[in-house]
Structure 1
Amino acid sequence: MKFEKSFSPTGKPQEIRGDGSFQRQINRFTTPFGSKEGELPVEEGRYRLIWCPACPWAHRSVIVRRVLGLEDAISLGTVSPLRPKLDRVDWEFSLDENGVDPVLGIQYLSEIYLKTAPDYAGRPTVPVIVDLKKGEAVQNDYFHLTNYFETEWVPFHKKNAPNLYPEERREDIDALSDVIFHEVNNGVYKCGFAHSQEAYEEAYDVLFNRLDELEKRLATKRFLFGDYITDSDVRLYTTLARFDAAYVTAFNTNRNVLREFPNLWGYARDLYQTPGFGDTTDFDAIKRHYHLSITIHPNKEEVKILPKGPVASEWNTPHHREALSEKEDKFLR
């Protein structure tokens, strides 16, 4: 398992390079799901997925879980979008009765990380999969987690579940998803967490150059690979859903708002109106986390204002994206 220490003795994240650019910490628990020796066994009811509705990395795993019908196979625990005011970065189960997860019996996510690995010194992150038999965190590799749900968890997919990760397209999906991760998903964080003007402007230019390319791509395609939704669409959606509500102001990604990209805006609404996407999107949680919580400067005391917009009803307005496709079913069989 790969591990990179990301905290100083004072509990302050150390994910900033010497040039002021942001470098996300490496995931600690990366054992894949599968049937081979040493892999995590795929068993119904054995695992609990911990997420936060504000987090884009966690959100995409919950979208795929819902779309594929894995709700009964993998239980779900939810942490608050507001960071607890502690001397460390953590997540809290304050939304649950008595402030503890009803299955794990813990108040803070760090408890399960430290129980699993007492030497753990990074940020406890979501999503994370907890093995209920062992009482340990076993998977927090958000980059590959949806792929495991799409491939290794097939025996527990609902009837007629869509194929979000078709084998004949995986190479192309992986290549595009990698670009989306570095330049868009993590690109907004590179803008928001930059500690130098040069690092911020470089990340800003990369982000908007990529959004311009995606805007062009979606001018003739309903989804990234044509008529049907794939895993790449899930990954892009979670950033787009947070763009105007959070990133434009909180992360200074302010060249354009999403609504000024006609194709991306229509595409995002098309996905939002698809079961599994909009019904797992919580704009209030997103705004509370990015605008009221302890995110970028945990020790900075300042007045914090919760933005009034965006209006969620705008996401249900007609998008007319179906005109780009003759297919009624949005999912690839």
Structure 2
Amino acid sequence: MNGSALKGRVTADGSSGYPAEPGRYHLYLAWSCPWAQRTAIVRDLKGLREVVTLSYVEDDLGAEGWTFGPRRGPDPVNGFGRLRQAYEATVPGYDGPVSVPALWDRVTGGLVSNDYAAITVDLGTQFEEWGDPEVRLYPPELRAEIDRLNAYLHADLNGGAWEVAMTTTQKGYEAARGRVVAVLDRMERRLATRRFLFGDTITESDVWLWPTLARFDLLDNPLGKISERSLSDFPNLWAYARDLYQRPAFRDTTDFGTFRRDRSSIRRPGPARIEVEPVEADWELPHGRDSVL
């Protein structure tokens, strides 16, 4: 059985079979994974640090997949050495992919979900009894718009940046990097007149955009050779990214060290690529976004 089985949902009223309860759920994450980082950000923004626990696997996939180890610590819930054991404990004979984020339920002794999009929505909307009521990451009146923007960001930017690195033809490379740059330009224009993607409050879409911006100068751009411009060459995006970073939920869930990994071993045949070097940016510079409407 593969990962399609791991689609459970946590609900406030427990109608899904997984009721929202403090201390019941645990997130398995990786510092290096942008999709996992989203869940950590939402957990912190919503004020759920004492409600939903988390731990991290090692930064890189080894021969045995995601493992627990000396750098990021042991599995504090089950004592597993490999994350695959959590999947196998949930689905006997599991032979599908093992991914993060993965949400564990202490009561049933198994995983609820590895659906990164659903996990963030549930954390942001189903724990209202214990979370910060002022944080509305997925408000009903904006959900359709948020879903459309998130789908666009995911296809052409979040996943698109990796697609550029994986291309093996000149035509594919130029098309893929063109899509990524088009998203950056579009978000640059959007953020000229609004502080966050949907106005004056942070939403799910900001959480989706952030991990790619955080990785752009140190990982995605030098790896894929996407653009001659660094993040600082997009003034609105760069100030917006600093505005987010200087908030604990974004700062505390970001480890720039995991983005500085060796890129010299990744040699892909095919297209001639532009020259791009890693850029060390000053994320503590004042962002100046307070006056943006």
Which TM-score tier does this pair reach, normalised by the shorter chain? Answer: 0.7 to 0.9
Equivalence for 1:82: 60
Give the % identical residues.
37
1:44 aligned to 2:44? no
For residues 107-158 of structure 1, give each alpha carbon's deviation from its aligned partner in whole angstroms, at most 9, with x where no partner exists: 1111111222244333311110011223212211102211111111211204
Aligned length: 283
Q: CA deviation at 1:195?
A: 4.3
Equivalence for 2:232: 259
- Correspondent of 1:152 among 126, 147, 153: 126
1:316 aligned to 2:284? yes
In 1: Cα distance, 2:113 partner to 2:192 partner:
37
The letter of the residue matching 1:94 is G
In 2: Cα distance, 1:62 partner to 1:138 partner:
17
For residues 186-214 of structure 1, give each alpha carbon's deviation from its aligned partner in whole angstroms, at most 9, with x where no partner exists: 11122223344433332211111111111
Retained in 1: the 8 A contact 2:230–2:279? no
Equivalence for 1:328: none
Between 234-243 and 199-208, report the one with greater CA deviation: 199-208
In 2: Cα distance, 1:39 partner to 1:166 partner:
24
- Correspondent of 1:95 among 70, 93, 103: 70
Between 185-194 and 141-150, report the one with greater CA deviation: 185-194
Q: CA deviation at 1:324?
A: 1.1
Q: CA deviation at 1:236?
A: 0.3
SS of equivalent residue, structure 1 residue 154: coil
In 2: Cα distance, 1:49 partner to 1:206 partner:
32
Q: CA deviation at 1:184?
A: 1.0
SS of equivalent residue, structure 1 residue 189: helix
- Correspondent of 1:233 among 202, 206, 210: 206
In 2: Cα distance, 1:46 partner to 1:151 partner:
16
- Correspondent of 2:79 among 93, 102, 105: 105
1:30 aligned to 2:4? no
Unpaired stretches in structure 1, ≥5 consecutive residues:
4-25, 298-306, 326-333
- Correspondent of 2:255 among 268, 282, 289: 282
Q: CA deviation at 1:249?
A: 1.3
For residues 235-271 of structure 1, give each alpha carbon's deviation from its aligned partner in whole angstroms, at most 9, with x where no partner exists: 1011100111100112332342211111111110111
SS of equivalent residue, structure 1 residue 53: coil
- Correspondent of 1:163 among 130, 133, 136: 136
The letter of the residue matching 1:174 is D
1:137 aligned to 2:111? yes
Pick closer, same or farther for the CA change 1:28–1:259 going to 2, 3 Å.
farther
TM-score, normalised to structure 2, is 0.88
Q: Please, what is the CA RMSD of the aligned residues?
A: 2.4
Retained in 2: the 8 A contact 1:49–1:130? yes
Retained in 2: the 8 A contact 1:53–1:286? no
For residues 74-113 of structure 1, give each alpha carbon's deviation from its aligned partner in whole angstroms, at most 9, with x where no partner exists: 11111111332x1x5x11111369x631221011111111
Q: CA deviation at 1:286?
A: 2.7
Retained in 2: the 8 A contact 1:50–1:128? yes
The letter of the residue matching 1:91 is W
In 2: Cα distance, 1:261 partner to 1:268 partner:
10
Pick closer, same or farther for the CA change 1:96–1:266 going to 2, 3 Å.
closer
SS of equivalent residue, structure 1 residue 129: strand
SS of equivalent residue, structure 1 residue 174: helix
The letter of the residue matching 1:138 is V
In 2: Cα distance, 1:318 partner to 1:103 partner:
40
Instruction: State the 4+ residue runs in structure 1 displaced beyond 6 angstroms.
Output: none
Retained in 2: the 8 A contact 1:188–1:207? yes
Retained in 2: the 8 A contact 1:67–1:161? no
Between 232-241 and 136-145, report the one with greater CA deviation: 136-145
The letter of the residue matching 1:123 is P
